[in-house]
Copies of this chain bind each other. A is one copy, B any other.
Amino acid sequence: HTDSTNMRLRLPLLCIILEVILIILFGTLVEYNDDTHAKLWNENRTDSATRNDHENEFYYRYPSFQDVHVMIFVGFGFLMTFLQRYGFSSVGFNFLIAAFSLQWATLMQGFFHGLHHGKIHVGVTSMINADFCTGSVLISFGAVLGKTSPVQLLVMAIFEVTLFAVNEFILLSILGVNDAGGSMTIHTFGAYFGLMVTRVLYRPNLDKSKHRNSSVYHSDLFAMIGTIYLWMFWPSFNSAITNYGDPQHRTAMNTYYSLAACTLATFAFSALVNPEGKLDMVHIQNAALAGGVAVGTAGEMMLTAFGSMIVGFLAGTISVLGYKYLTPVLESKLKIQDTCGIHNLHGMPGVLGAVVGAVTAALASPDVYGHGVFADVETGKWNPQSRGGFQAISLAVTLGMALFGGLITGFILKLPIYGAPPDTHCFEDGLYWEVPGEEEGHQELYEVATPNEVEKLSS
Protein backbone atom coordinates (compact mmCIF):
# COMPACT_ATOMS: atom_id res chain seq x y z
CA HIS A 1 0.00 0.00 0.00
CA THR A 2 3.00 2.32 0.28
CA ASP A 3 2.78 3.52 -3.29
CA SER A 4 -0.93 3.94 -3.41
CA THR A 5 -0.95 6.10 -0.29
CA ASN A 6 2.25 8.01 -1.00
CA MET A 7 1.61 11.70 -0.50
CA ARG A 8 4.89 12.98 -1.90
CA LEU A 9 3.40 14.52 -5.01
CA ARG A 10 -0.33 14.59 -4.32
CA LEU A 11 -0.28 16.59 -1.11
CA PRO A 12 2.35 19.21 -2.04
CA LEU A 13 0.76 19.78 -5.44
CA LEU A 14 -2.71 20.26 -4.00
CA CYS A 15 -1.54 22.47 -1.12
CA ILE A 16 0.59 24.70 -3.34
CA ILE A 17 -2.03 25.02 -6.08
CA LEU A 18 -4.73 25.84 -3.54
CA GLU A 19 -2.61 28.39 -1.74
CA VAL A 20 -1.54 30.06 -4.98
CA ILE A 21 -5.18 30.32 -6.05
CA LEU A 22 -6.08 31.72 -2.63
CA ILE A 23 -3.30 34.28 -2.81
CA ILE A 24 -4.36 35.41 -6.27
CA LEU A 25 -8.00 35.69 -5.26
CA PHE A 26 -7.13 37.55 -2.07
CA GLY A 27 -4.91 39.87 -4.08
CA THR A 28 -7.69 40.73 -6.48
CA LEU A 29 -10.77 40.59 -4.26
CA VAL A 30 -9.95 41.29 -0.62
CA GLU A 31 -9.56 44.63 1.14
CA TYR A 32 -9.27 45.65 4.78
CA ASN A 33 -12.55 46.91 6.16
CA ASP A 34 -12.94 50.47 7.47
CA ASP A 35 -11.74 49.60 10.97
CA THR A 36 -8.62 47.95 9.67
CA HIS A 37 -7.54 50.15 6.79
CA ALA A 38 -5.20 52.95 7.85
CA LYS A 39 -6.56 55.62 5.54
CA LEU A 40 -10.23 54.71 5.77
CA TRP A 41 -10.10 54.54 9.54
CA ASN A 42 -8.44 57.91 9.83
CA GLU A 43 -10.85 59.52 7.44
CA ASN A 44 -13.88 58.09 9.16
CA ARG A 45 -12.58 58.89 12.59
CA THR A 46 -13.12 62.60 12.05
CA ASP A 47 -16.74 61.96 11.18
CA SER A 48 -17.36 60.67 14.68
CA ALA A 49 -21.12 61.21 14.58
CA THR A 50 -21.53 58.17 12.38
CA ARG A 51 -19.67 55.81 14.66
CA ASN A 52 -20.83 54.05 17.80
CA ASP A 53 -18.73 54.08 20.91
CA HIS A 54 -17.53 50.57 20.51
CA GLU A 55 -16.65 50.78 16.85
CA ASN A 56 -13.07 49.94 16.02
CA GLU A 57 -12.56 48.93 19.61
CA PHE A 58 -10.22 46.02 19.04
CA TYR A 59 -11.32 44.35 22.24
CA TYR A 60 -14.89 44.33 21.00
CA ARG A 61 -15.33 40.85 19.44
CA TYR A 62 -11.61 40.05 19.28
CA PRO A 63 -11.66 38.14 22.61
CA SER A 64 -14.57 36.16 21.21
CA PHE A 65 -12.55 35.46 18.09
CA GLN A 66 -9.69 34.07 20.15
CA ASP A 67 -11.99 31.80 22.14
CA VAL A 68 -13.55 30.47 18.95
CA HIS A 69 -10.09 30.06 17.44
CA VAL A 70 -9.07 27.91 20.42
CA MET A 71 -12.14 25.75 19.94
CA ILE A 72 -11.35 25.20 16.26
CA PHE A 73 -7.68 24.32 16.64
CA VAL A 74 -7.30 22.93 20.16
CA GLY A 75 -10.91 21.91 20.79
CA PHE A 76 -11.64 19.99 17.62
CA GLY A 77 -8.00 19.00 17.13
CA PHE A 78 -7.53 17.32 20.47
CA LEU A 79 -11.08 16.00 20.79
CA MET A 80 -10.19 13.63 17.95
CA THR A 81 -6.92 12.41 19.45
CA PHE A 82 -8.79 9.70 21.35
CA LEU A 83 -7.71 7.06 18.85
CA GLN A 84 -4.66 5.16 20.00
CA ARG A 85 -2.57 5.59 16.85
CA TYR A 86 -4.13 8.55 15.12
CA GLY A 87 -3.12 11.50 17.28
CA PHE A 88 -0.73 13.05 14.76
CA SER A 89 -3.36 12.90 12.04
CA SER A 90 -6.15 14.13 14.32
CA VAL A 91 -4.34 17.26 15.42
CA GLY A 92 -2.31 17.61 12.23
CA PHE A 93 -4.99 17.18 9.59
CA ASN A 94 -7.35 19.26 11.73
CA PHE A 95 -4.67 21.96 11.58
CA LEU A 96 -4.21 21.64 7.82
CA ILE A 97 -7.83 21.63 6.75
CA ALA A 98 -8.72 24.39 9.22
CA ALA A 99 -5.89 26.60 7.92
CA PHE A 100 -7.14 26.06 4.39
CA SER A 101 -10.84 26.34 5.19
CA LEU A 102 -10.60 29.64 6.98
CA GLN A 103 -9.01 31.23 3.92
CA TRP A 104 -11.45 29.70 1.50
CA ALA A 105 -14.38 30.54 3.78
CA THR A 106 -13.32 34.19 3.91
CA LEU A 107 -13.73 34.32 0.15
CA MET A 108 -16.95 32.32 -0.12
CA GLN A 109 -18.69 34.05 2.79
CA GLY A 110 -17.42 37.42 1.62
CA PHE A 111 -18.84 36.77 -1.79
CA PHE A 112 -22.28 35.79 -0.50
CA HIS A 113 -22.51 38.20 2.39
CA GLY A 114 -22.18 41.20 0.13
CA LEU A 115 -19.39 42.76 -1.84
CA HIS A 116 -18.34 46.38 -1.46
CA HIS A 117 -17.72 47.77 -4.94
CA GLY A 118 -16.68 44.32 -6.03
CA LYS A 119 -14.39 43.80 -3.06
CA ILE A 120 -14.63 41.56 0.00
CA HIS A 121 -14.05 43.50 3.22
CA VAL A 122 -12.30 41.59 6.00
CA GLY A 123 -12.19 42.33 9.70
CA VAL A 124 -12.60 40.66 13.07
CA THR A 125 -16.15 39.56 12.25
CA SER A 126 -15.09 37.91 9.01
CA MET A 127 -12.40 36.05 10.95
CA ILE A 128 -15.02 34.71 13.37
CA ASN A 129 -17.34 33.72 10.54
CA ALA A 130 -14.52 31.94 8.71
CA ASP A 131 -13.75 30.00 11.87
CA PHE A 132 -17.43 29.08 12.19
CA CYS A 133 -17.50 27.71 8.65
CA THR A 134 -14.28 25.82 9.37
CA GLY A 135 -15.99 24.27 12.38
CA SER A 136 -18.55 22.62 10.16
CA VAL A 137 -15.80 21.06 8.02
CA LEU A 138 -14.14 19.72 11.17
CA ILE A 139 -17.44 18.18 12.28
CA SER A 140 -17.60 16.29 9.00
CA PHE A 141 -13.95 15.31 9.47
CA GLY A 142 -15.09 13.53 12.65
CA ALA A 143 -17.27 11.15 10.66
CA VAL A 144 -14.52 10.08 8.26
CA LEU A 145 -11.68 10.26 10.82
CA GLY A 146 -9.07 7.61 10.20
CA LYS A 147 -10.42 6.57 6.82
CA THR A 148 -9.32 9.41 4.58
CA SER A 149 -6.09 10.86 3.23
CA PRO A 150 -5.24 14.53 3.79
CA VAL A 151 -5.82 15.10 0.09
CA GLN A 152 -9.35 13.78 0.37
CA LEU A 153 -9.94 16.02 3.37
CA LEU A 154 -8.81 19.12 1.51
CA VAL A 155 -11.05 18.26 -1.42
CA MET A 156 -13.93 17.72 0.98
CA ALA A 157 -13.21 21.12 2.55
CA ILE A 158 -13.34 22.87 -0.84
CA PHE A 159 -16.86 21.64 -1.49
CA GLU A 160 -18.17 21.82 2.05
CA VAL A 161 -17.05 25.40 2.62
CA THR A 162 -18.69 26.45 -0.62
CA LEU A 163 -21.99 24.80 0.18
CA PHE A 164 -21.84 26.04 3.76
CA ALA A 165 -21.64 29.61 2.44
CA VAL A 166 -24.59 29.02 0.12
CA ASN A 167 -26.71 27.50 2.87
CA GLU A 168 -25.75 30.23 5.33
CA PHE A 169 -26.70 32.85 2.74
CA ILE A 170 -30.10 31.26 2.19
CA LEU A 171 -30.80 31.03 5.92
CA LEU A 172 -29.47 34.32 7.19
CA SER A 173 -29.96 36.61 4.20
CA ILE A 174 -32.92 35.19 2.28
CA LEU A 175 -34.99 33.56 5.01
CA GLY A 176 -33.72 36.03 7.60
CA VAL A 177 -33.65 33.54 10.45
CA ASN A 178 -31.66 33.59 13.69
CA ASP A 179 -28.85 31.09 14.10
CA ALA A 180 -26.03 32.94 15.82
CA GLY A 181 -24.51 29.81 17.38
CA GLY A 182 -25.09 27.72 14.30
CA SER A 183 -27.29 24.84 15.47
CA MET A 184 -28.39 24.67 11.87
CA THR A 185 -25.71 26.32 9.75
CA ILE A 186 -22.76 24.73 11.55
CA HIS A 187 -23.79 21.63 13.46
CA THR A 188 -26.70 20.20 11.52
CA PHE A 189 -25.06 21.05 8.21
CA GLY A 190 -21.62 19.71 9.18
CA ALA A 191 -23.04 16.55 10.72
CA TYR A 192 -25.36 15.43 7.92
CA PHE A 193 -22.87 16.44 5.26
CA GLY A 194 -20.23 14.30 6.96
CA LEU A 195 -22.60 11.39 7.56
CA MET A 196 -23.55 11.31 3.91
CA VAL A 197 -19.90 11.45 2.85
CA THR A 198 -19.00 8.55 5.13
CA ARG A 199 -22.05 6.64 3.86
CA VAL A 200 -20.85 6.98 0.28
CA LEU A 201 -17.32 6.02 1.34
CA TYR A 202 -18.66 2.95 3.17
CA ARG A 203 -15.98 0.31 3.77
CA PRO A 204 -17.44 -3.19 4.18
CA ASN A 205 -14.10 -4.49 5.44
CA LEU A 206 -13.32 -1.80 7.95
CA ASP A 207 -13.18 -4.35 10.75
CA LYS A 208 -9.72 -5.23 9.47
CA SER A 209 -8.62 -2.04 11.27
CA LYS A 210 -10.96 -2.57 14.21
CA HIS A 211 -8.18 -3.08 16.72
CA ARG A 212 -6.93 0.46 16.13
CA ASN A 213 -10.40 2.04 16.22
CA SER A 214 -10.36 2.61 19.96
CA SER A 215 -8.51 4.55 22.58
CA VAL A 216 -5.67 3.96 25.00
CA TYR A 217 -5.35 5.51 28.43
CA HIS A 218 -3.34 8.60 27.54
CA SER A 219 -5.07 9.20 24.22
CA ASP A 220 -8.31 9.57 26.17
CA LEU A 221 -6.68 12.19 28.36
CA PHE A 222 -5.47 14.13 25.33
CA ALA A 223 -9.00 14.02 23.99
CA MET A 224 -10.27 15.49 27.26
CA ILE A 225 -8.15 18.58 26.57
CA GLY A 226 -10.24 19.06 23.46
CA THR A 227 -13.49 18.38 25.26
CA ILE A 228 -12.86 20.75 28.14
CA TYR A 229 -11.77 23.60 25.87
CA LEU A 230 -14.84 23.18 23.71
CA TRP A 231 -17.05 23.07 26.81
CA MET A 232 -15.52 26.13 28.45
CA PHE A 233 -15.51 28.36 25.39
CA TRP A 234 -18.89 27.36 23.98
CA PRO A 235 -20.53 30.41 25.58
CA SER A 236 -18.08 32.52 23.57
CA PHE A 237 -18.81 30.53 20.43
CA ASN A 238 -22.56 31.01 20.54
CA SER A 239 -22.30 34.68 21.52
CA ALA A 240 -19.42 35.66 19.24
CA ILE A 241 -21.51 37.35 16.55
CA THR A 242 -24.78 38.10 18.35
CA ASN A 243 -25.79 41.74 18.54
CA TYR A 244 -24.17 44.20 20.92
CA GLY A 245 -25.88 44.53 24.31
CA ASP A 246 -28.27 42.16 25.99
CA PRO A 247 -28.27 39.37 23.35
CA GLN A 248 -24.57 38.73 23.81
CA HIS A 249 -24.93 38.43 27.57
CA ARG A 250 -27.95 36.22 27.23
CA THR A 251 -26.39 33.88 24.72
CA ALA A 252 -23.30 33.31 26.84
CA MET A 253 -25.39 32.69 29.93
CA ASN A 254 -27.89 30.35 28.28
CA THR A 255 -25.06 28.31 26.83
CA TYR A 256 -23.32 28.14 30.20
CA TYR A 257 -26.41 26.77 31.97
CA SER A 258 -27.29 24.42 29.14
CA LEU A 259 -23.82 22.87 29.23
CA ALA A 260 -23.84 22.51 33.01
CA ALA A 261 -27.17 20.64 32.93
CA CYS A 262 -26.00 18.60 29.96
CA THR A 263 -22.94 17.45 31.88
CA LEU A 264 -25.01 16.03 34.72
CA ALA A 265 -27.28 14.25 32.25
CA THR A 266 -24.25 12.81 30.48
CA PHE A 267 -22.73 11.36 33.64
CA ALA A 268 -26.13 10.04 34.72
CA PHE A 269 -26.93 8.22 31.50
CA SER A 270 -23.38 7.07 30.87
CA ALA A 271 -23.47 5.15 34.15
CA LEU A 272 -27.04 4.01 33.63
CA VAL A 273 -26.49 2.36 30.24
CA ASN A 274 -23.46 0.40 31.44
CA PRO A 275 -24.13 -3.01 33.05
CA GLU A 276 -21.53 -2.36 35.74
CA GLY A 277 -22.42 1.30 36.12
CA LYS A 278 -19.05 2.37 34.76
CA LEU A 279 -18.65 5.69 33.00
CA ASP A 280 -17.58 5.70 29.37
CA MET A 281 -15.02 8.27 28.22
CA VAL A 282 -16.67 8.42 24.80
CA HIS A 283 -19.81 9.83 26.40
CA ILE A 284 -18.03 12.27 28.67
CA GLN A 285 -15.83 13.51 25.83
CA ASN A 286 -18.71 14.09 23.47
CA ALA A 287 -22.22 14.06 24.93
CA ALA A 288 -21.32 16.63 27.60
CA LEU A 289 -20.93 19.11 24.73
CA ALA A 290 -24.34 18.51 23.18
CA GLY A 291 -25.83 21.20 25.40
CA GLY A 292 -23.80 23.83 23.59
CA VAL A 293 -24.99 22.61 20.20
CA ALA A 294 -28.62 22.52 21.26
CA VAL A 295 -28.82 26.19 22.27
CA GLY A 296 -27.00 27.40 19.17
CA THR A 297 -30.16 28.88 17.71
CA ALA A 298 -32.25 29.81 20.74
CA GLY A 299 -29.34 30.96 22.88
CA GLU A 300 -29.77 34.60 21.93
CA MET A 301 -33.51 34.47 22.58
CA MET A 302 -35.26 34.80 25.95
CA LEU A 303 -34.88 31.08 26.56
CA THR A 304 -34.16 31.74 30.27
CA ALA A 305 -31.72 29.76 32.38
CA PHE A 306 -34.58 27.40 33.17
CA GLY A 307 -35.30 26.66 29.52
CA SER A 308 -31.60 26.34 28.72
CA MET A 309 -31.10 23.76 31.44
CA ILE A 310 -34.00 21.66 30.16
CA VAL A 311 -32.63 21.80 26.63
CA GLY A 312 -29.13 20.93 27.84
CA PHE A 313 -30.39 18.04 29.90
CA LEU A 314 -32.31 16.64 26.94
CA ALA A 315 -29.35 17.09 24.62
CA GLY A 316 -26.99 15.20 26.93
CA THR A 317 -29.52 12.43 27.32
CA ILE A 318 -30.20 11.84 23.63
CA SER A 319 -26.50 12.10 22.88
CA VAL A 320 -25.50 9.35 25.32
CA LEU A 321 -28.38 7.16 24.21
CA GLY A 322 -27.36 7.79 20.61
CA TYR A 323 -23.79 6.61 21.26
CA LYS A 324 -25.04 3.53 23.06
CA TYR A 325 -27.96 2.41 20.92
CA LEU A 326 -28.14 4.33 17.65
CA THR A 327 -24.54 4.42 16.38
CA PRO A 328 -24.23 0.61 16.16
CA VAL A 329 -27.53 0.48 14.25
CA LEU A 330 -26.49 3.24 11.87
CA GLU A 331 -23.37 1.27 11.08
CA SER A 332 -24.94 -2.18 10.71
CA LYS A 333 -28.21 -1.17 9.03
CA LEU A 334 -27.52 2.08 7.22
CA LYS A 335 -23.81 1.46 6.56
CA ILE A 336 -22.86 4.77 8.14
CA GLN A 337 -19.44 4.42 9.77
CA ASP A 338 -19.26 7.46 12.00
CA THR A 339 -15.86 7.38 13.74
CA CYS A 340 -16.46 10.15 16.27
CA GLY A 341 -20.20 9.71 16.54
CA ILE A 342 -20.90 13.16 15.14
CA HIS A 343 -24.53 12.18 14.73
CA ASN A 344 -24.82 12.09 18.51
CA LEU A 345 -22.81 15.21 19.25
CA HIS A 346 -23.74 17.47 16.34
CA GLY A 347 -26.51 15.80 14.33
CA MET A 348 -29.34 15.11 16.77
CA PRO A 349 -28.48 17.99 19.14
CA GLY A 350 -28.26 20.30 16.12
CA VAL A 351 -31.74 19.31 14.99
CA LEU A 352 -32.96 19.66 18.57
CA GLY A 353 -31.42 23.13 18.64
CA ALA A 354 -33.16 24.09 15.42
CA VAL A 355 -36.53 22.92 16.78
CA VAL A 356 -36.00 24.70 20.10
CA GLY A 357 -35.10 27.83 18.16
CA ALA A 358 -38.22 27.61 16.01
CA VAL A 359 -40.48 27.08 19.03
CA THR A 360 -38.82 29.85 21.06
CA ALA A 361 -39.14 32.24 18.11
CA ALA A 362 -42.78 31.31 17.61
CA LEU A 363 -43.50 32.01 21.28
CA ALA A 364 -41.81 35.44 21.28
CA SER A 365 -43.90 38.35 22.52
CA PRO A 366 -43.26 42.08 23.00
CA ASP A 367 -43.99 41.60 26.70
CA VAL A 368 -40.83 39.58 26.99
CA TYR A 369 -38.56 41.13 24.38
CA GLY A 370 -39.37 44.82 24.20
CA HIS A 371 -37.10 46.08 21.41
CA GLY A 372 -34.89 42.99 21.62
CA VAL A 373 -33.96 40.27 19.22
CA PHE A 374 -37.38 40.28 17.70
CA ALA A 375 -37.66 43.99 17.16
CA ASP A 376 -39.78 43.35 14.13
CA VAL A 377 -42.34 41.71 16.37
CA GLU A 378 -43.45 45.17 17.22
CA THR A 379 -43.34 46.63 13.76
CA GLY A 380 -45.95 44.14 12.75
CA LYS A 381 -43.97 43.25 9.65
CA TRP A 382 -43.43 39.76 10.96
CA ASN A 383 -45.35 37.83 13.51
CA PRO A 384 -43.60 35.35 15.74
CA GLN A 385 -45.47 32.41 14.31
CA SER A 386 -44.18 33.06 10.81
CA ARG A 387 -40.74 33.65 12.36
CA GLY A 388 -41.00 30.21 13.89
CA GLY A 389 -42.10 28.84 10.55
CA PHE A 390 -39.11 30.28 8.74
CA GLN A 391 -36.84 28.81 11.41
CA ALA A 392 -38.39 25.39 10.75
CA ILE A 393 -38.06 25.80 6.99
CA SER A 394 -34.40 26.63 7.52
CA LEU A 395 -33.84 23.30 9.21
CA ALA A 396 -35.32 21.50 6.23
CA VAL A 397 -33.23 23.52 3.79
CA THR A 398 -30.08 22.80 5.81
CA LEU A 399 -30.76 19.08 5.93
CA GLY A 400 -31.40 19.02 2.22
CA MET A 401 -28.28 20.99 1.36
CA ALA A 402 -26.14 18.88 3.68
CA LEU A 403 -27.36 15.51 2.44
CA PHE A 404 -27.24 16.49 -1.22
CA GLY A 405 -23.85 18.16 -0.86
CA GLY A 406 -22.47 15.22 1.08
CA LEU A 407 -23.73 12.81 -1.56
CA ILE A 408 -22.01 14.63 -4.42
CA THR A 409 -18.86 15.24 -2.42
CA GLY A 410 -18.80 11.61 -1.29
CA PHE A 411 -18.78 10.37 -4.86
CA ILE A 412 -16.04 12.81 -5.80
CA LEU A 413 -13.98 11.57 -2.85
CA LYS A 414 -14.50 8.00 -3.95
CA LEU A 415 -12.29 8.42 -7.01
CA PRO A 416 -9.21 6.24 -6.49
CA ILE A 417 -6.75 9.09 -6.94
CA TYR A 418 -6.40 10.58 -3.46
CA GLY A 419 -4.28 7.96 -1.73
CA ALA A 420 -6.96 6.83 0.72
CA PRO A 421 -5.79 4.29 3.29
CA PRO A 422 -6.49 0.60 2.63
CA ASP A 423 -9.00 -1.14 4.92
CA THR A 424 -6.15 -2.79 6.78
CA HIS A 425 -4.47 0.50 7.64
CA CYS A 426 -7.21 2.81 8.72
CA PHE A 427 -6.82 4.74 12.00
CA GLU A 428 -3.04 4.55 11.58
CA ASP A 429 -0.69 7.54 11.64
CA GLY A 430 2.19 5.57 10.15
CA LEU A 431 0.69 5.78 6.70
CA TYR A 432 1.07 9.54 6.38
CA TRP A 433 3.51 10.46 9.14
CA GLU A 434 7.02 9.69 10.22
CA VAL A 435 6.15 8.04 13.51
CA PRO A 436 8.82 7.91 16.23
CA GLY A 437 9.38 4.71 18.08
CA GLU A 438 9.85 2.90 14.80
CA GLU A 439 13.39 4.19 14.81
CA GLU A 440 16.16 2.38 16.56
CA GLY A 441 17.10 4.89 19.21
CA HIS A 442 13.87 4.64 21.10
CA GLN A 443 13.92 0.97 21.80
CA GLU A 444 16.45 1.50 24.49
CA LEU A 445 14.22 3.88 26.35
CA TYR A 446 10.80 2.48 26.57
CA GLU A 447 11.94 -1.07 26.20
CA VAL A 448 8.62 -2.11 24.81
CA ALA A 449 8.61 -5.63 23.51
CA THR A 450 8.32 -5.89 19.73
CA PRO A 451 5.67 -8.05 18.04
CA ASN A 452 8.25 -10.76 17.48
CA GLU A 453 9.21 -10.82 21.09
CA VAL A 454 5.63 -10.98 22.21
CA GLU A 455 5.14 -13.90 19.87
CA LYS A 456 8.11 -15.59 21.48
CA LEU A 457 6.63 -14.92 24.87
CA SER A 458 3.27 -16.32 23.94
CA SER A 459 4.67 -19.54 22.61
Contact = CB atoms under 8 A, between A and B. Distances in A.
A277 B445 CA distance: 24
B278 A23 contact: no
Contact of A7 (B6, B27, B271, B442): B271
Given A38-B370, A436-B215, A309 B22 contact: yes
A57 B54 contact: yes
A9 B31 CA distance: 60
B436 A102 contact: no
B434 A280 contact: yes
B245 A211 contact: no
**Dominant secondary structure at the A interface:** helix
Nearest to A306: B27
Interface residues of A, number: 156
A197 to B, nearest CB: 21
Given A11-B268, A54-B57, A74-B229, A369 B19 contact: no
A212 B445 contact: yes
Given A236-B66, A261-B19, A32 B271 contact: no
A409 interface: no
A366 to B, nearest CB: 8
Contact of A442 (B41, B211, B274, B447): B211
A39 B371 CA distance: 7
Q: How many of these chains are in the complex?
A: 3
Contacts of A9: 272, 277
A38 B372 contact: yes
Nearest to A307: B27
Interface string A20-58: 001100110011100111111111010000000110111
A214 B442 CA distance: 8
Contact of A306 (B26, B221, B235): B26
A60 to B, nearest CB: 6
Interface string A204-248: 000000111011111111101100110111011001000011111
A448 B18 CA distance: 43
Given A12-B269, A246-B37, A246-B56, A232 B278 contact: no
**Considering residues A37, A261, A278, which has the most beta carbons from chain B within 10 angstroms of its beta carbon?**
A278
A199 interface: no
Given A268-B15, A306-B27, A41 B372 contact: yes
Contact of A436 (B2, B214, B288, B437): B214
A174 interface: no
B313 A217 contact: no
Interface string A422-439: 000000000011111101
A415 interface: no
A416 interface: no
A33 B58 CA distance: 23
Given A23-B261, A216-B437, 5 more contacts: A16-B265, A19-B313, A38-B371, A39-B369, A99-B263
27 contacts: A10-B277, A12-B268, A16-B265, A27-B306, A31-B304, A32-B249, A37-B250, A38-B246, A42-B371, A59-B59, A62-B63, A66-B235, A69-B232, A77-B228, A81-B221, A92-B281, A95-B228, A99-B259, A103-B260, A124-B249, A150-B267, A214-B436, A214-B439, A216-B446, A225-B225, A444-B451, A453-B457
